[in-house]
Amino acid sequence: MADYWQFLCILLSSALLTVSAAPLEVVDADPNSEEVYGSTAFALESFNYFSKEPYLYKITKFDTVTMKAIGGGEYTMDVELQLTQCKKGESTGLESCPVMTAPAQAKALQCVFVVLNVPWRHQRVLIKSNCSPK
């Protein structure tokens, strides 16, 4: 009987090592999906919170969105942001905010956000936020 349990433990350990050694597949994600929308909204809210601008940024273009399944979903979003005419603290919905058009005020950024969704904990974590002027 002890040999049976040893064999079962060795077999289970081998299976776990094989599965954990497999590379994680990165797949394209639909920018209109609920999970991507939630991840994007979270990343943008975090970005705007920490931005030193008095105005809010909004996403104007999705270049790429990918997903990696790692105990939830890790979403990598390469997006374009533009400065809007809505000030921080206003209750206006960001979607209805017009972008700045005056050359002196218009700012566009190219950003990469990486968000980890942990659905069973109802939690999102911004792993990476990297932006540069466009």
Q: Rounded to whole angstroms, what are the CA distances from 37 to 4, 13, 17?
A: 49, 38, 34
Which pair of structure tokens corresponds to residue 70?
């790692």
Quick one: pLDDT at residue 35? 87
Within-domain flag for 14: no
Residue 5 lies in a domain: no
| CB within 8 Å of 35: residues ≥ 6 apart | 29, 67, 73, 75, 117
- Output the average pLDDT for the chain: 84
Tell how far CA 89 is from the center of its chain: 23
Residue bearing the bigger pLDDT, 94 or 49: 49
Mean pLDDT of 15-30: 64
Total tally of structural domains belonging to the chain: 1
Tokens of 113: 């956000």
Range(s) of the domain holding residue 61: 24-133
In a domain, 127, yes or no: yes
CATH of the domain at 50: 3.10.450.10
CA-closest candidate to residue 113, choices 71, 62, 60: 62
Q: Is the pLDDT of residue 23 over 80?
A: no
11 falls within a domain: no
Token pair of 119, please?
């659905």
CA distance 5 to 119: 35
Q: Would you say residue 83 lies in a domain?
A: yes
The answer to whether residue 106 sits within a structural domain is: yes
Q: pLDDT tens, 65-107?
A: 999 987 778 999 999 999 999 999 887 788 889 999 988 888 9
Domain assignment present for 81:
yes
Is 39 inside a domain boundary? yes
105, 87 in Cβ contact below 8 A? no
pLDDT in tens, 3-20: 555 544 444 444 444 444
